[in-house]
Structure 1
Amino acid sequence: MSFTGDILLAASVEKLMLKNGYGYPYAKARNYLQLSDITAANLETPVTLRGTPAPNKQYVYKASPDALPALIDSGVDLVNLANNHTLDQGEVGLLDTIGYLKKVKLPNVGAGRNDAEAFKPVIKEANGIRIAYLGLTRVVPVGSWKAGPNHPGLAESYYPTRAVAAIKKAKAEADVVVVMVHWGTELADLPNADQKRLGHAYIDAGADLVVGSHPHVLQGFESYKGKWIAYSLGNFVFSGMPDKRTADTGVLDAACGAGGACSLAFHPMRAVQSQPAPLEGEEAAALLKRLAGISVHATIDANGLIHAKE
């Protein structure tokens, strides 16, 4: 399996795609996205031609459904919608997003027409192994964005209760359980206490791999009870930001067996004009060294392989 951080298909990224083609953002990373059996990403924008912009938000996004075929062609097989931009265009925008993704047959997790749908996993199968993907967010701009029994929204996880129940249920249906979660503090190198508390709770409930996003920068990895937490994969395809660390990105590979044990490898990249490209030599080594330095009970070797350590 492979994973990327935040993918934005709106704002300045959309302008670049309209100028250079919808496949432009993935041109230099495509091989890394296509080699795995399943590649999953965090989709940081609603896909709609309608909607009412969310009030009192600094950044409000809207992407065209025309951008979706290139996303699929790049190698992305599944997207997480549980984040703080999916309802930027209201419930209409969310429902349109789900509809457009269904139309192009791109599975999604973390949001739905009600809470049962939002917390429901997508189960994929590869080489006889069943993998359950769940999407969660601890970043919800307003309470009405949370999915309820009778209204659309996101699978929120300010407290782990509902997430734990969903993970336990998924574990009974699949060999491997992956939790993709939006959480943390923007531009922070280290995970905060909530990330650690929730990440541990997810694994205690049966998750085999937890992959985070939202901080816009790479955070480290943690080996916990023989399982893995990637606290933040940062931006992958995103608008340029003043902090240079937000351009550092990469693709995380996880080779998992039927028992749930996973081996991780990270391919370091840097995005220029919203286009991530592999790093080599000293630049790659420096990024991997920085990640190793902020990881917990884990280290990263020169080849990007992530190892558990006491």
Structure 2
Amino acid sequence: MSYSRTRTHQISKKRRFRKLLFVNVTLLALIVVAGGLLAAQWSASGGVDGAPGGRSEAPPASAPAAGNADEPSGSGNANGTPTDPGNAGDASNGTPTGSDSDAPGTPDEPAGGPADTQDQVTLAFVGDILTASTVGSYMDKNGVDYPFEYAAASLQAADITAGNLETPITNREDPAENKTYVFRGKPEYLTGIKNAGFDVLSLANNHTLDHGWEGLSDTMDYLDDAELQHMGSGVDAEEAFTPVIIESHGIRVAYIGVTHVVPDGSWKAGENHPGLADTYNTKPAVAAIQSAKELADIIVVMVHWGNEREQQPEQAQFDVGHTFVDAGADLVIGSHPHVLQGFEYYNGKWIAYSLGNFIFTTNGNSVTQQTGVLKAACTKDGACGMNFEPMFAHNFQPSPMKPEEGALLLAELSDKSYGAKVDEKGDLIPVSAGGGKETP
């Protein structure tokens, strides 16, 4: 079992912090001692009037100066098996066998730049991102930025942008057995994702272990190298459930990744077992949310769930989503069905049941090509204004829809939403009790 460089980075940060703290304390002590000696010398000479014939001047003391604490390439084609699988998946939503994961740990410190005085942070979310199979072939031919050419401006406009990475990034080839579709992407494809404006990616889904734990560990390491934050996987349950915390405009946003789609129980992270953060048992995820509430202002849970190509959520999605909000989540963002599902305004918070495909192979079903960018403008108290920008992915390139087509899609999403509607501008609007579709 290989180590996770993510955990190693966390340990290194702790060590650097302790070293820096020791150096600063030592310097402070030296300054205090030097100041005491200077004061004693001054006092012994009688102060300003002590020396005969005029002012007695002590020689200047010099304090020591404080010092500072101390794109990969890949080979082989990123092909799935078969080459162009379309949007069919390989995992049911039945509870697999395997050990339950433990309660989560907490991160060392938030990632991101310095805070400022603005009073809100803007977040962007997309659904499934597959940089493999036919998509990978197009990236090889047209460049790693190709899939994001028409969507990058929207993604980059947000302070923090997140998505679900639906493929391992590795040069290893150790395909999982008994899986219909097995994917593998090249490390250089992450440059395109980074350039597009993404900051954080969830790895909790039914494909990131397509080439085993070694392949997933490679993925985490390559993401670290690309300076892309990630969550939802780890060397054990503690790491898998640990949130990424990013600070922007003085607001700390925690991202937690979990999956309700696990092809095999061995994929689940346990106390001494690497894998994914799963939510068949919601207690570990609830504990992660509650722990994150002590560290961050806004809690985002990205969850892989539901039935493929079903445009209505299943009951388990409602149950799990409500549980997360009740535990303290401010936003719950879903993926996996490969089609768009509606939104829900529940207890003052927003749930997006499925953002569908964003970058993915297609079998010609245009519904699976309907996609978009969900945008949130959130204040420090977790209140979020929401907007959905409709897009259509042609040749694996999401681009804004024409106004009339976008209006039709927004109206369909409004009809599919619960306790909310979507207006012609894409704004998500809460609907008072009895005025909108209720959760079944």
Q: How does 1:162-241 map to 2 (within 5 A)?
A: 162-241=284-363
Q: How does 1:87-126 map to 2 (within 5 A)?
A: 87-126=209-248
Amino acid corresponding to residue 137 of structure 2 in structure 1: K
2:404 aligns to what?
282
Counterpart pick for 1:133 among 252, 255, 265: 255
Q: Report the alpha carbon displacement of residue 241 of structure 1 after superposing the two structures with TM.
A: 2.4
Q: Report the alpha carbon displacement of residue 212 of structure 1 after superposing the two structures with TM.
A: 0.2
1:149 aligns to what?
271
Q: Distance in 2 between matches of 1:104 and 1:197?
A: 36
Q: TM-score, normalised by structure 1?
A: 0.99
Q: Report the alpha carbon displacement of residue 280 of structure 1 after superposing the two structures with TM.
A: 2.0
Q: Report the alpha carbon displacement of residue 302 of structure 1 after superposing the two structures with TM.
A: 0.7
Q: Does 1:26 align with 2:148?
A: yes
Deviation digits for residues 195-249 of structure 1 (CA, Å, limit 9, x no counterpart): 0000000000000000000000000000000000000000000011232210000
Three-state SS of the structure 1 residue aligned to 2:337 is: coil
Q: Distance in 1 between matches of 2:287 and 2:412?
A: 35
2:389 aligns to what?
267
Contact 1:34 1:75 in 2 (8 A): yes
Q: Structure 2: where are the runs of 5+ without partners?
A: 1-122, 433-440
Q: Structure 1: where are the runs of 5+ without partners?
A: none
Amino acid corresponding to residue 322 of structure 2 in structure 1: H
Deviation digits for residues 120-146 of structure 1 (CA, Å, limit 9, x no counterpart): 000001110000000000000000000
Q: Does 1:309 align with 2:431?
A: yes
The 4+ residue runs of structure 1 with deviation greater than 4 A are none
Contact 1:51 1:90 in 2 (8 A): no
Identity %: 53
Q: Does 1:15 align with 2:141?
A: no
Amino acid corresponding to residue 210 of structure 1 in structure 2: V
- Return 268-277 or 48-57, whichever deviates more: 48-57
2:74 aligns to what?
none
Q: Report the alpha carbon displacement of residue 159 of structure 1 after superposing the two structures with TM.
A: 2.0
Q: How does 1:35-114 map to 2 (within 5 A)?
A: 35-114=157-236
Q: Distance in 2 between matches of 1:148 and 1:159?
A: 12
Three-state SS of the structure 2 residue aligned to 1:271 is: strand
Contact 1:116 1:149 in 2 (8 A): yes
Three-state SS of the structure 2 residue aligned to 1:65 is: coil
Amino acid corresponding to residue 361 of structure 2 in structure 1: S
Aligned residues: 310
Q: Distance in 2 between matches of 1:8 and 1:113?
A: 23
Q: Distance in 2 between matches of 1:147 and 1:182?
A: 15
Q: Distance in 2 between matches of 1:161 and 1:256?
A: 26
Amino acid corresponding to residue 149 of structure 2 in structure 1: A
Q: Report the alpha carbon displacement of residue 282 of structure 1 after superposing the two structures with TM.
A: 1.0
Q: Distance in 1 between matches of 2:187 and 2:284?
A: 31
Q: Distance in 1 between matches of 2:270 and 2:296?
A: 25
Q: Distance in 2 between matches of 1:29 and 1:102?
A: 24
Amino acid corresponding to residue 289 of structure 1 in structure 2: A
Bigger strand share: 1
Q: Report the alpha carbon displacement of residue 172 of structure 1 after superposing the two structures with TM.
A: 1.0
Q: Distance in 1 between matches of 2:328 and 2:173?
A: 38
Amino acid corresponding to residue 162 of structure 2 in structure 1: A
Deviation digits for residues 149-175 of structure 1 (CA, Å, limit 9, x no counterpart): 222100000121111011000011100
Amino acid corresponding to residue 191 of structure 2 in structure 1: P
Contact 1:51 1:92 in 2 (8 A): no
Q: Report the alpha carbon displacement of residue 281 of structure 1 after superposing the two structures with TM.
A: 1.7
